[in-house]
Chain A
Amino acid sequence: MVEKRLISEKEVEHVAWLARLELSQSDKRLFTEQFNEIIAYFKKIDEAKTEGVEPTYHVIELVNILREDQETPPLPREEALQNAPKKEKGYIKAPKIV
C-alpha cells in the first residue's frame, strides 16, 4: 500500500467536477484508493532524465490540411437529428444553461 496519499478523496471529487463527471460515494472511495496506486506507479517517470529533451506530441510532422471553401451538400436535417435523444420542431433540445 501507498503510505503517503498522492491524491485525496477531495481532490478526486474536484477533478471529477472539472471533467463533468458525477461520482457516487462508493466510486469516490474506490477510485481514490485505485488512483493512489496508479499514480504511485506513474511516478516511476520521475527517474527518467529528460533535461533538454523536447516533447513529442505527435510522431509525424503535422501540417494544416486546407481545402477550397466550396459548398457541398449537407447532411439532411432528419439524418443529422436522428441520433439526438431530445428534439423539437427540427432542433436539438438542450437543457437550461443559465
Chain B
Amino acid sequence: MEKIRSGELTAAECVSSIYERIRQFEERFHAYVTLTEDQALKTARQIDARRQRGEALGSLAGVCVAVKDNICTQGIRTTCSSRMLEDFIPPYSATVVERIEREDAIIVGKTNMDEFAMGSTTETSYFGLTRNPWDPSRVPGGSSGGSAAAVALDEAVLALGSDTGGSVRCPASFCSVVGLKPTYGLVSRYGLIAFANSLEQIGPITGNVYDCALLLNVIASHDPRDSTSVDIHRKDYTESLEGDIKGLKIGVPKELIGEGTDKSVVSSVWDAVYKLEEFGASYDEVSLPSLEYALPSYYIIAMSEASSNLARYDGLRYGYRAEGSDWFEVYSRGRRTGLGPEVRRRIILGTYALSAGYYEEYYMKALKIRSLIKRDFDRSFEDSDVLVGPTMPLPPFKIGEKIDNPLALYLCDVDTVSVNLMGGCAVSIPCSFVGDLPIGLQIIGKPFDEAKILRVAHAFEQNTTHHLRRPLLTN
C-alpha cells in the first residue's frame, strides 16, 4: 500500500493489478457480488491526473477497497446478498463510503455475505457461497466472508465489513486477516442496511494491523445522520501502534476458552498469551460468569430487532415484489420468495420472542442478562487492560457441514457476541495455523479503547510471522 500512497505505482496500475487477481481467482472463490471495474479505472485515472498536477490527495489515494454488500453505494447495486434486493440501486451512499471516497480510495466491488448478514459462513448468499482462500472446500466465515476472502486473495487492499455478533471478526479469523469491530457509536451506521441496530458496527478488514488503524482513522467519525453516533474526539490510531506493551495487564476469560473450544484453538491462544507475556505484558485468568448466557441472549435480541427491521421489505418502494390480489398477499408472498430460509427463520423467531405472552420470558430477560454481561465486562476492565481469547471456537470447517443445523451454526458465535452486547471493541488477528488452517486471536477492549487493543495486536504482529503467510493458490 505504501507504493500506492507514495506514488511509486499509479492508481490505474493498482486497479489493473487488483483486477488481474480478480480475473485469476474470482471464479473459484467468489468473493464479490458486483464488480465495478470501469468506474474504478475512471476514478483511478482522475486521481493520477490530480497527482500529476501536484494536487493534494487523500490518505487512501489510489487504494483499492472492497465494500460489503450491505453498505449503500450510490449508483452501485447493493443487494445484501438477497433476492429481495437483487436490483436495488441506492440513491445515496453510506457515510463510511463518502468518507473513504473523500480520502480518494477506489471502490473495486461489493463483496458477498450471508443474506442480510445472518450467518457465520457466507453460505446463505442468494448469489452463491464464497470459498475459503486457504482451503476451497471450507467456509471463509461470515457474514463478511467476501470482504475477508477478497483481502486474503489480494483482490482488494482494504475491505469494509459489518459486525453484529462477530461478522467481521469471524471471517477475519477464518481467512487469516485482521478484522476490527469498533466500539458501538464510533463509526456511523448511516447507509448500513439494518439487521440489529443496537448491536452492529461497520469495521475494517485488512492484511495487517497498520492498515486496520489507517482505515479506522477514516471511517471513525461523528455523524449527525446516525443518532447513535457518539460525539467524541477521534484519535490517530496509527500513532497509538507505536510503543511496547510492557506492564500491560491481560485478562484471559475462562468462559471464552473453556469447554467446547477445539484443542488446537486452546493451545494456539495460550501460545499467543505466553508470547504477549514475553513482550512485557502480564496475564491473569479471569471469570465473567454471565457470559454463559451471552449466546442465547444475543440471538433473542438480534432476532427481535431483525423481525422489526425487516418488516420494511414490502416490495413497494423497492425490493422483490410478488403478484397477488391484495396487499397481504403481495407482502407475505414477496417475503416468502424474496428472502432465504435463514432470514425467514429469524424473522419468525424474533416475532415470537416479541409477541404477547413471550416478551417477558425471552426479550426482556435477554435484555436484563445484557446488563449483567456489561457489568461483568466493566468489572474485568478494572483489573485488566484488555481481555484475550479465541475469535472462533474451532478452525474453518467444511462447506455444508453445519448449514442444515441452524443451532449448530449459532454456537460458532459463542466467543464474539458478548462484545456486541456490551458495546466495546475487539480485533481478530492471525495467531497460528493448524496445518494450513488459520486460527485467530481476539483482543477485547472496553468502549473507545481501540488504541489499546490495536497496540497489543501490533506488538503481537511485529514479533510474529503468521500475518505474512499467504494461502497457497495453485491453479
A42: nearest residue on chain B (CB-CB)?
B296
Query: Does A9 have its Cβ within 8 Å of any Cβ on chain B?
Result: no
Q: Mark A72-97, 1 if CB is under 8 A from B, else 0.
A: 00010001101111100000101111
In the complex where A56-B374, A59-B184, A80-B91 touch, is A22 in contact with B317 (Cβ < 8 A)? no
User: Is the beta-carbon distance between A65 and B370 smaller than 8 angstroms?
Assistant: no
Query: Does B331 have its Cβ within 8 Å of any Cβ on chain A?
Result: yes
Query: Does B94 have its Cβ within 8 Å of any Cβ on chain A?
Result: no
User: Is the beta-carbon distance between B296 and A41 smaller than 8 angstroms?
Assistant: yes
Query: Does A67 have its Cβ within 8 Å of any Cβ on chain B?
Result: yes
User: Is the beta-carbon distance between A48 and B290 smaller than 8 angstroms?
Assistant: yes
* Assembly CA distance A42 to B228 (angstroms): 28
User: Is the beta-carbon distance between A45 and B366 smaller than 8 angstroms?
Assistant: yes
Contacts of B324 in A (CB 8 A): 95
Query: Does A60 have its Cβ within 8 Å of any Cβ on chain B?
Result: yes
Q: Mark B353-392, 1 if CB is under 8 A from A, else 0.
A: 0010000001011111111101000000000000000000
User: Is the beta-carbon distance between A82 and B89 smaller than 8 angstroms?
Assistant: yes
User: Is the beta-carbon distance between A45 and B371 smaller than 8 angstroms?
Assistant: no
Query: Does A4 have its Cβ within 8 Å of any Cβ on chain B?
Result: no
Query: Does B66 have its Cβ within 8 Å of any Cβ on chain A?
Result: no
User: Is the beta-carbon distance between A34 and B406 smaller than 8 angstroms?
Assistant: yes
Contacts of B331 in A (CB 8 A): 20
Contacts of B297 in A (CB 8 A): 45
In the complex where A21-B335, A42-B300, A56-B370 touch, is A97 in contact with B327 (Cβ < 8 A)? yes
Query: Does B224 have its Cβ within 8 Å of any Cβ on chain A?
Result: yes
User: Is the beta-carbon distance between A85 and B344 smaller than 8 angstroms?
Assistant: no
The 9 A-B pairs with the shortest beta carbon distances in the complex, nearest first, are A59-B423, A55-B367, A83-B318, A50-B368, A85-B321, A22-B336, A19-B351, A22-B332, A56-B370
Contacts of B332 in A (CB 8 A): 17, 20-22
User: Is the beta-carbon distance between B87 and A83 smaller than 8 angstroms?
Assistant: yes
Contacts of B203 in A (CB 8 A): none
B411: nearest residue on chain A (CB-CB)?
A41
In the complex where A45-B296, A60-B423 touch, is A54 in contact with B368 (Cβ < 8 A)? yes
Question: Which of B311, B348, B369 is the one whose CB lies under 8 Å from A15?
Answer: B348
Contacts of B369 in A (CB 8 A): 45, 48, 50
Contacts of A55 in B (CB 8 A): 364, 367-368, 370-371
In the complex where A54-B368, A82-B91 touch, is A48 in contact with B341 (Cβ < 8 A)? no
Query: What is the interface of chain A, defined by CB distance below 8 A to chain B?
Result: 7, 11-12, 15-24, 27, 31, 34-35, 37-39, 41-48, 50, 53-60, 62-65, 67, 75, 79-80, 82-86, 92, 94-97
* Assembly CA distance A12 to B344 (angstroms): 12
Q: In angstroms, how far is the closest chain A Cβ from the Cβ of B128?
A: 22
In the complex where A42-B300, A44-B296, A97-B327 touch, is A19 in contact with B307 (Cβ < 8 A)? yes
Question: Which of B185, B330, B341, B410 is the one whose CB lies under 8 Å from A95?
Answer: B330
Query: Does B117 have its Cβ within 8 Å of any Cβ on chain A?
Result: no
Q: In angstroms, how far is the closest chain B Cβ from the Cβ of A9?
A: 12
A and B contact pairs by CB, cutoff 8 A, 19 listed:
A15-B352, A16-B351, A19-B307, A21-B348, A22-B333, A22-B336, A31-B348, A41-B296, A43-B296, A44-B293, A45-B296, A48-B290, A48-B369, A48-B372, A50-B369, A55-B367, A75-B92, A82-B89, A97-B327
User: Is the beta-carbon distance between A35 and B228 smaller than 8 angstroms?
Assistant: no
Q: In angstroms, how far is the closest chain A Cβ from the Cβ of B226?
A: 9
In the complex where A56-B367, A67-B224 touch, is A15 in contact with B351 (Cβ < 8 A)? yes
Contacts of A48 in B (CB 8 A): 290, 292-293, 365, 368-369, 372
* A24, A47, A48 — most chain B CB neighbours (10 Å): A48
Contacts of A24 in B (CB 8 A): 336
Query: Does B264 have its Cβ within 8 Å of any Cβ on chain A?
Result: no
Query: Does B345 have its Cβ within 8 Å of any Cβ on chain A?
Result: yes
Contacts A55-B367, A59-B374, A85-B316 known; list 12 others, CB within 8 Å. Answer: A7-B352, A21-B344, A21-B348, A38-B406, A45-B293, A45-B300, A48-B292, A50-B372, A60-B184, A62-B227, A75-B92, A86-B316
Query: Does B474 have its Cβ within 8 Å of any Cβ on chain A?
Result: no
Q: In angstroms, how far is the closest chain B Cβ from the Cβ of A81?
A: 8
* Assembly CA distance A45 to B371 (angstroms): 13
Q: In angstroms, how far is the closest chain A Cβ from the Cβ of B72?
A: 12
* Assembly CA distance A55 to B362 (angstroms): 12
User: Is the beta-carbon distance between A53 and B336 smaller than 8 angstroms?
Assistant: no
Contacts of A34 in B (CB 8 A): 345, 406-407
Contacts of A41 in B (CB 8 A): 296, 407, 410
Q: In angstroms, how far is the closest chain B Cβ from the Cβ of A50?
A: 4
Q: In angstroms, how far is the closest chain A Cβ from the Cβ of B411?
A: 8
Q: In angstroms, how far is the closest chain A Cβ from the Cβ of B466?
A: 32
* Assembly CA distance A35 to B344 (angstroms): 12
Q: In angstroms, how far is the closest chain A Cβ from the Cβ of B455?
A: 23
In the complex where A44-B293, A55-B368, A55-B371 touch, is A21 in contact with B88 (Cβ < 8 A)? no
